[in-house]
Amino acid sequence: MPRHRDPDIVSPDIVVILTDQQTADAMSAAGNPYLRTPAMDALAAAGTRYPNAYCAQPLCTPSRASLMTGRLPSTVGVTGNTGGPQDPLLGRLFTEAGYDCGYGGKWHLPELDLPEGRGFRRIHPAGGDDAGLARAAAEFVRAPRERPFLLVASFLEPHGICEWARGQDPRTGPLPPEPPVPQLPPLPPNFPIAPYEPALPRLARLAQPHTHPTAEWREDDWRRYRHAYYALVERVDRHIGLLLAALEERDRETVVVFSSDHGDGAGAHRWNQKWALYEECVRIPLVVTGPGVASGTVDERLVAAGLDLIPTLCDLAGIEAPDGLPGRSVRAPRPHDSVVVETRWEIPGFNNALGRMVRAGRHKYVCYAWGDHREQLFDLAADPGELVNLAVDARHAPLLDRFRALLSEHCAAVADPFARFVPPASQVSDATR
To the nearest 10 degrees (0 to 180), the angle between helices 130-142 and 219-248 is 20
pLDDT band at 426 (very low <50, low <70, confident <90, very high): confident
What pLDDT sits at residue 39? Answer: 98
124 and 177 belong to one structural domain = yes
- Give the whole-number percent of the chain exceeding pLDDT 70: 96
List the domain range (segments joined by +) for residue 411.
340-431
CATH label of the domain that carries residue 356: 3.30.1120.10
* pTM reported for the whole predicted model: 0.95
229 and 102 belong to one structural domain = yes
206 and 290 belong to one structural domain = yes
In angstroms, rounded to a whole number, what is the distance separating the alpha carbons of residues 214 and 175?
20
Whether 7 is in a domain gets the answer no
393 and 276 belong to one structural domain = no
In angstroms, rounded to a whole number, what is the distance separating the alpha carbons of residues 97 and 310?
13
Distance, C-alpha 25 to centroid of its chain? 12
Whether 345 is in a domain gets the answer yes
Q: Which of 308, 337, 366 lies at the terminal end of a domain, its last residue?
A: 337
The closest of 110, 90, 108, 111 to 99, measured between CA atoms, is: 90
What pLDDT sits at residue 83? Answer: 84
Task: Please give the biggest Cα pair distance in the chain.
Answer: 65
Whether 5 is in a domain gets the answer no
The tens digit of pLDDT for each residue in 331-352 reads 999 999 999 999 999 999 899 9
Confidence check: pLDDT of 376 > 50: yes
63 and 192 belong to one structural domain = yes
Confidence check: pLDDT of 2 > 80: no
Q: Which of 272, 303, 337 lies at the terminal end of a domain, its last residue?
A: 337
What pLDDT sits at residue 322? Answer: 94
Confidence check: pLDDT of 1 > 80: no
Whether 2 is in a domain gets the answer no
154 and 115 belong to one structural domain = yes
Instruction: Compute the mean pLDDT over every residue in the chain, rounded to the nearest whole number.
Output: 95
Confidence check: pLDDT of 297 > 80: yes
266 and 155 belong to one structural domain = yes
Whether 3 is in a domain gets the answer no
What pLDDT sits at residue 40? Answer: 98
360 and 332 belong to one structural domain = no
What pLDDT sits at residue 432? Answer: 44
244 and 304 belong to one structural domain = yes
The closest of 142, 163, 141, 143 to 152, measured between CA atoms, is: 141
The tens digit of pLDDT for each residue in 94-121 reads 999 999 999 999 999 999 999 999 999 9
323 and 351 belong to one structural domain = no
Higher pLDDT among residues 93 and 86, named by residue = 93
Whether 271 is in a domain gets the answer yes
Structural domain count of the chain: 2
What pLDDT sits at residue 81? Answer: 93
The tens digit of pLDDT for each residue in 182-235 reads 999 999 999 999 999 999 999 999 999 999 999 999 999 999 999 999 999 999
CA atoms within 13 A on the CB side of 306: 30
- Give the whole-number percent of the chain exceeding pLDDT 90: 93
177 and 46 belong to one structural domain = yes
Q: Is the CB of residue 261 less than 8 Å from the CB of residue 54?
A: no
The tens digit of pLDDT for each residue in 146-175 reads 999 999 999 999 999 999 999 999 999 999
Confidence check: pLDDT of 433 > 50: no
What pLDDT sits at residue 391? Answer: 98
CATH label of the domain that carries residue 113: 3.40.720.10
Q: Which of 285, 312, 337 lies at the terminal end of a domain, its last residue?
A: 337
291 and 379 belong to one structural domain = no
Whether 291 is in a domain gets the answer yes
* Mean pLDDT value of segment 242-264: 96
Whether 4 is in a domain gets the answer no
pLDDT band at 429 (very low <50, low <70, confident <90, very high): very low
